[in-house]
Amino acid sequence: MTEWRGIPRTDIPWFPTIDAEKCIGCRECISICKNGVLAFDEAIRKSKVVNPYNCVVECRTCARLCPAEAIGFPDATWFNEFITEKLAARGKP
């Protein structure tokens, strides 16, 4: 997806981050995500983010399913304010 509601997808900082200290390498997140956001890093035996902007804006499915609570997303309140401003500014020069 190159745009989300008229905003360039790369202007929207919504994607998972993985805490490598917590990740147990179960690959559950890779199995559940159909968008190729995550991949397994064989060198460290943990998941990593490889295509952040393929992540569906406001999806948190992988984080909900991670047994180690290793996946984080932007703070919801901060993100709501950010995206509301972005949408309001959409179309302005």
The residue among 82, 33, 70 whose CA lies nearest residue 55 is 33
Measured from the CB atom, the residue of 7 and 59 that comes closer to ligand SF4 is 59
Instruction: Determine the straight-line distance between the first and last CA of the chain, rounded to whole angstroms.
Output: 23
- List interacting residues with ligand SF4 (CB under 6 A): 16, 18, 23-29, 32-33, 35, 37-38, 46-47, 55-56, 59-62, 66-68, 70-71
Relative to beta strand 17-18, strand 71-72 is antiparallel
> What minimum distance in Å lies between the beta carbon of 10 and ligand SF4?
15
For 19-57, give the DSSP string: -TTT-----HHHHH-SSS-EEEETTTTEEEES-GGGSPT
> What minimum distance in Å lies between the beta carbon of 37 and ligand SF4?
4
Measured from the CB atom, the residue of 12 and 18 that comes closer to ligand SF4 is 18
Measured from the CB atom, the residue of 62 and 83 that comes closer to ligand SF4 is 62
